[in-house]
DNA sequence: ACATGTGCGGAACGGAACGTTCCGCTACTG
DNA sequence: CAGTAGCGGAACGTTCCGTTCCGCACATGT
């Protein structure tokens, strides 16, 4: 909340506003990652600004969430691209999962889905993300590094499970997720297949896509 | 909503009321398992009764949740006892996890915790449940069936992760959970330890116990 | 047959939470 | 020095939900 005007060409009020842009988005990310249905006032409080500063930038809560989700999708694609460029097939697969879990990117995407009307850009990025992850998985399976009976739609389910780990602060949760990611990785290795094939089949694209539809509250009948 | 008076000594109005006891509790279980913060009216609707029928039996929503949770803890203990009586150490371990996940008992216990003031009976049952699970785990580890670097507090985290799988109806979710439970089981086997030890340490009892404390809403600051 | 009270449906009530708007102030800008 | 961009936070209107309450229907006991 200081460093008056050394890092930007703008000064005074204008600079403060520019800085607030980032502060607010960071606060929103932190707050909504911890609680997707947190009130807008919580974001303002976390950012150390008033509510007006928020509504000056985003027309509605929905727009803020859509922006945040877009940001998350871009992070996912970035992580996936970096992972894909890893030479070793298992290394690439491992990098993908570790990257996604470490950045907690799942909380920024799927957990926000259904709370705003998705734009075409959301769709395009989600598709690209799926394509990259699928490529990494296929390569790892072709190299007999990852068991052959997992499918690409199983991966979001792994993220989903790890994102459900919420016990302490963000730091403690990150440590716990690393611990349990290690277990997931062990179960996905090719040699784990020796103990038996996976029953049933992974989610369909339709089942995964259904989350992006706007739906009311908690899902219980009125 | 029929069979007038053939299965109970009571008849007419009295029998209907007795039957409603079960209908309401079943409806409450179904509704709150799907959405822990569902409104009371949703339970009444699912049970096909009015709200009065509900409040005649439970003084408050909190009391209903406490009853439901007690019910869940008893189920857990029952499942754990049956598993413990399995001769094969790995079989017992497997039976425990399969039983807990199949009955979706986690949604009935921990997901309800924090929404009501726990009674001493909740504490006693939770302790008994922990004792049984710990015994089963230790036996499986002593037999070198389960990897040595998992601890008893890791098990609730496995349930937690599997309970987070919510895509379609209850039936589809159960099938998906069975699929991913298979992965978890593979990762917990002793031979999975060859690929490396688990980083960090499992949750402490204090971390797990903190969920039973009453806390406001979603966790975001006001 | 009739008075009685139990059990219940669902409207009504009171309060809490939240998204959004609006007023007024501050301090840069030109 | 007038004008205004940016903002803090109170206020507003709405939605949601737990709980209460009123009146009805029917089984029960005489």
Contact B189, B145 (CB under 8 A): yes
Is the alpha carbon torsion for A160, A164, A170, A172 positive or negative? negative
Contact criterion met (CB < 8 Å) for B179 and A201: yes
B40: nearest CA in chain A? Answer: A222
- Tell me how far apart the alpha carbons of residues A215 and B105 are, in angstroms, rounded to a whole number: 26
Share of chain A above pLDDT 70, in %: 91
Contact criterion met (CB < 8 Å) for A183 and B179: no
pLDDT in tens, A143-166: 999 999 999 999 999 999 999 999
Contact A180, A162 (CB under 8 A): yes
Secondary structure (DSSP) of B38-91: --HHHHHHHHTS-HHHHHTT-SSHHHHHHHHHHHHHHHHHHHHHHHHT-SSHHH
Residue B185 has pLDDT above 60, yes or no: yes
CB B50 within 7 Å, strand C: yes
Which tokens in the block code for residue A207? 């089942």
Mutate one of A187, A194, A206 to test the B interface: name it (highest B CB count within 10 A): A187
User: pTM for the full model?
Assistant: 0.92
Which tokens in the block code for residue B214? 């009453």
Spell out which residues of chain B touch residue A199, defining contact as CB-CB under 8 Å.
Answer: 175, 178-179, 182
The predicted structure's pLDDT at residue A82: 98
Contact criterion met (CB < 8 Å) for A167 and B34: no
pLDDT in tens, A60-96: 999 999 999 999 999 999 999 999 999 999 999 999 9
pLDDT averaged over chain B?
A: 92
- State mean pLDDT over A124-135: 98
- Domains of chain B are 1-59 (no CATH), 65-213 (1.10.357)
Taken as a whole, chain A contains a residue count of 222
CA angle B109, B115, B116 (to 5 degrees): 90
């Amino acid at each position: 909340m200081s460093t008056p005007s050394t890092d930007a060409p703008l000064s005074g009020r204008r600079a403060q506003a520019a800085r607030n842009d980032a502060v607010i988005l960071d606060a929103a990310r932190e707050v909504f990652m911890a609680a997707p249905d947190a009130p807008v006032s919580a974001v303002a409080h976390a950012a150390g600004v008033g509510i007006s500063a928020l509504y000056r930038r985003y027309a509605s809560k929905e727009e803020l969430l859509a922006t945040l989700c877009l940001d998350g999708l871009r992070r996912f694609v970035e992580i996936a691209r970096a992972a894909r460029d890893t030479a070793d097939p298992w290394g690439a697969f491992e990098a993908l999962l570790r990257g996604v879990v470490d950045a907690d990117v799942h909380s920024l995407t799927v957990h926000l889905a259904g709370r705003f009307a998705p734009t075409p850009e959301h769709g395009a990025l989600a598709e690209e993300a799926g394509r990259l992850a699928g490529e990494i998985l296929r390569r790892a399976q072709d190299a007999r590094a990852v068991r052959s009976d997992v499918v690409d739609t199983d991966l979001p389910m792994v993220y989903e499970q790890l994102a459900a780990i919420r016990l302490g602060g963000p730091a403690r949760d990150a440590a716990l997720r690393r611990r349990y990611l290690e277990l997931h990785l062990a179960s996905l290795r090719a040699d784990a297949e020796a103990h038996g094939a996976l029953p049933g089949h992974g989610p369909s694209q339709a089942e995964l896509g259904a989350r992006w539809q706007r739906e009311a509250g908690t899902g219980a009948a009125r």
